[in-house]
Amino acid sequence: MMESVAKFYFAVLEKDQDKWESLVSDLSAGHIGFRFEEHIEYFGREAEALLEEILDYWQLFKNERVLTEQCKIKDNKVFLQFVGLRSVAGTKDLLRQLLLACGAQELKVDYMDEDIMSGDE
């Protein structure tokens, strides 16, 4: 099986910094569902629609969990990392579009797919 890691590095506008600090704090605590949606509402309808599409896709893989690891913000620089299997692999581009709709500046993206050892030899 393949594990997918999507890493996003970007800057945020000063007017949005408090919202991003709260959002990153919640993502760091593993809050990807309802609380994530509440944060994204701040950024408008396009962002809400993209997040809805992402969450709907993730629901197709109920046995898979999407993790947010090492998410952090310092000054106006943000780092987000989403880890999962098919759920993350299938939404990498949507996640990028979502961040742009949320005002991400200077967005840099790093995608990585790794084979996970199944234990069968």
Taking the whole predicted model, whether its pTM rises above 0.75 is answered as: yes
Q: Domain for residue 69, yes or no? A: yes
Residue range(s) defining the domain that contains residue 67? 2-115
Instruction: Say which residue, 121 or 98, is predicted with more confidence.
Output: 98
- Give how many domains the chain has, as a whole number: 1
In this prediction, residue 20 carries a pLDDT of 97
Q: Domain for residue 50, yes or no? A: yes
Q: Domain for residue 43, yes or no? A: yes
Average pLDDT over residues 53-66: 92
Looking up tokens 């106006």 gives 76
Q: Domain for residue 120, yes or no? A: no
Q: Domain for residue 121, yes or no? A: no
In this prediction, residue 33 carries a pLDDT of 82
Q: Report the share of the chain in percent with pLDDT over 90.
A: 78
Confidence class of residue 120 from pLDDT cuts 50, 70 and 90? very low
Output the domain CATH number for residue 6. 3.30.70
Q: Domain for residue 35, yes or no? A: yes
